[in-house]
């Protein structure tokens, strides 16, 4: 199996990944267009100094990826670091090393040091976003309930709207990534 650095070397730049999106592209670019990296010299300068590589495991149908990848792209541009993306469904050996609660949840961000070693894994959600999703899922009826699918679909529409428009979620994603990576980069 290839190393994470080998996956990174063969992956497409995040900018190209976003341009190639066929699902949720408009929403992702909407987030990208309006999100501005907060004034945060410490984090951005640390990224510039350490110059890590970031490998993203993602799919464009994923609502979390729609939001998080746009924010990650802004961080990468501010710090002048390179981010590359691979598709989860084409790289099951890779994602299966980075399961979330036993599932292939995405996106997953692997922070690689200059030796190509994984020094941090982030994803798929910031804690604040996870609380929103979990709180709403608690209200779903059992899967056997005839209204389950309708309620789930309505929530997915609400979730896409929140992920696209809720600036508090965007900042929560930024802060969560920031806190995770600062710890990893300062070791």
The band of 187, judged by pLDDT with boundaries at 50, 70 and 90, is confident
Give the Å distances, CA to CA, from 92 to 8, 32, 87: 15, 28, 9
pLDDT in tens, 153-183: 999 999 999 999 999 999 999 999 999 999 9
| Helix (H) or strand (E) segment spanning residue 125 | none
Give the integer Cα–Cα distance in Å for 117 and 69.
21
Long-range Cβ pairs for the range 150-156 (8 Å, 24+):
156/63
pLDDT at residue number 40: 77
Mapping DSSP to helix (H, G, I), strand (E, B) and coil, where does residue 97 land?
coil
d(CA 145, CA 122) in angstroms, rounded, equals 34
Adjacency order of strands within the sheet including 53-58: 12-13, 83-87, 53-58, 108-112, 118-122
**For residue 35, what pLDDT is reported?**
97
What pLDDT, in 10s, does the model give residues 23-73?
Answer: 999 999 999 999 999 997 899 999 999 999 999 999 999 999 999 999 999
Structural domains of the chain, with CATH: 4-185 (3.40.30.10)
Cα(40)–Cα(51) distance, rounded to whole angstroms?
Answer: 16
Q: Specify the residue for token string 């990576």.
A: 181
Helix or strand (DSSP H, E) at 186: none
């Amino acid at each position: 199996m290839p190393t994470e650095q080998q996956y990174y070397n063969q992956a497409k730049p995040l900018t190209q990944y976003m341009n190639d999106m066929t699902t949720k592209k408009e929403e992702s670019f909407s987030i990208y267009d309006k999100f501005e990296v907060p004034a945060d010299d410490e984090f951005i300068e640390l990224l510039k100094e350490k110059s890590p590589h970031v490998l993203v495991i993602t799919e464009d149908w994923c609502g979390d990826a729609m939001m998080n990848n746009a924010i990650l792209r802004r961080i990468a541009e501010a710090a002048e670091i390179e981010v590359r993306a691979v598709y989860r469904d084409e790289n099951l050996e890779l994602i299966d090393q980075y399961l979330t609660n036993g599932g292939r949840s995405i996106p997953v961000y692997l922070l690689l040091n200059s030796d190509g070693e994984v020094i941090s894994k982030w994803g798929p959600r910031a804690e604040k976003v996870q609380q929103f999703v979990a709180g709403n899922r608690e209200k779903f009826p059992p899967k056997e309930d005839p209204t389950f699918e309708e309620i789930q679909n309505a929530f997915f529409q609400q979730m896409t709207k929140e992920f696209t428009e809720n600036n508090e979620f965007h900042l929560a994603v930024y802060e969560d990534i920031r806190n995770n990576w600062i710890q990893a980069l300062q070791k």
